[in-house]
Amino acid sequence: MGRITVVGSYVVDLMSRTPQLPKPGETVLGGPFQMGPGGKGGNQATAAARSGSDVAFVTKVGDDVFGKEAIKHFEREGFNIQFVHRSKTEATGTALIAVDDQGENDIVIAPGACGTMTRSDVLKAEEEIKRSQMVMLQLEISFEAIEAAIKKAVHHQVPVLLNPAPCVDFPQEWLKYITYATPNETEALGLTGVEVTDALSAQEAADVLHEKGVKTVVITLGKQGVFLSKEAGKGAWMDGFSVKAMDTTGAGDAFNGGFAHAIGSGAPVEEAVQFGQAVAALSVTKMGTAASMPTQDEIKAFLKDHQ
The answer on whether 36 is annotated among ligand-binding residues is no
291 or 121, higher pLDDT: 121
pLDDT exceeds 90 at position 106:
no
pLDDT at res. 94 = 93
Q: Rounded to an integer, what distance in angstroms lies between the CA atom of residue 227 and that of residue 182? A: 10
Give catalytic status of residue 253 as yes or no. Answer: yes
Interval 42-59: pLDDT, tens:
999 999 999 999 999 999
Please state, in angstroms and as integers, the Cα–Cα distance from residue 189 to each residue in 86, 164, 180, 218, 238, following that order.
Answer: 36, 11, 17, 13, 20
pLDDT band at 103 (very low <50, low <70, confident <90, very high): confident
CATH of 3-9+38-91+115-305, one of 3.40.50.720, 3.30.930.10, 3.40.1190.20, 3.40.50.300: 3.40.1190.20
Per-residue pLDDT for 99 more than 90? no
Tell me the C-alpha to C-alpha distance, in Å, between residue 28 and each of 56, 103, 231, 262. Answer: 40, 16, 47, 41
Mean pLDDT of the 270-284 span? 96
Q: Is residue 276 part of an annotated ligand binding site?
A: no
Cα(71)–Cα(81) distance, integer angstroms: 8
Q: What is the pTM of this model?
A: 0.92
Residue 124: per-residue pLDDT: 97
Report the chain's terminal Cα–Cα distance, integer Å: 23
Give the separation between CA 224 and CA 136, rounded to whole angstroms.
24
Domain boundary assignment for the chain: 3-9+38-91+115-305
Residue 207 clears pLDDT 90, i.e. is over it: yes
Most confident stretch, 145-149, 239-243, 302-306: 145-149
- What value does the mean pLDDT take over residues 236-251? 89
Question: Has 250 been labeled as part of a binding site?
Answer: no
- Range of lowest pLDDT (2-11, 56-65, 93-102, 137-146): 93-102
User: Would you say 240 is a known binding-site residue?
Assistant: no
The reply to whether 168 sits in an annotated binding site is no
- Long-range CB contacts (within 8 A, 24+) of 298-301: 299/51, 299/258, 299/275
**Catalytic site residue from 54, 121, 207, 253:** 253
**DSSP bridge partners of 236:** 228
224 is in an annotated binding site: yes
Which pLDDT score, from 0 to 100, does residue 246 have?
85
CB 60 within 8 A of CB 116: yes
pLDDT band of residue 208 (cuts 50, 70, 90) is: very high
143-196, pLDDT tens digit by residue? Answer: 999 999 999 999 999 999 999 999 999 999 999 999 999 999 999 999 999 999
pLDDT beyond 90 at 101: no
**What is the C-alpha to C-alpha distance for residues 234 and 242, in angstroms, rounded to an integer?**
26
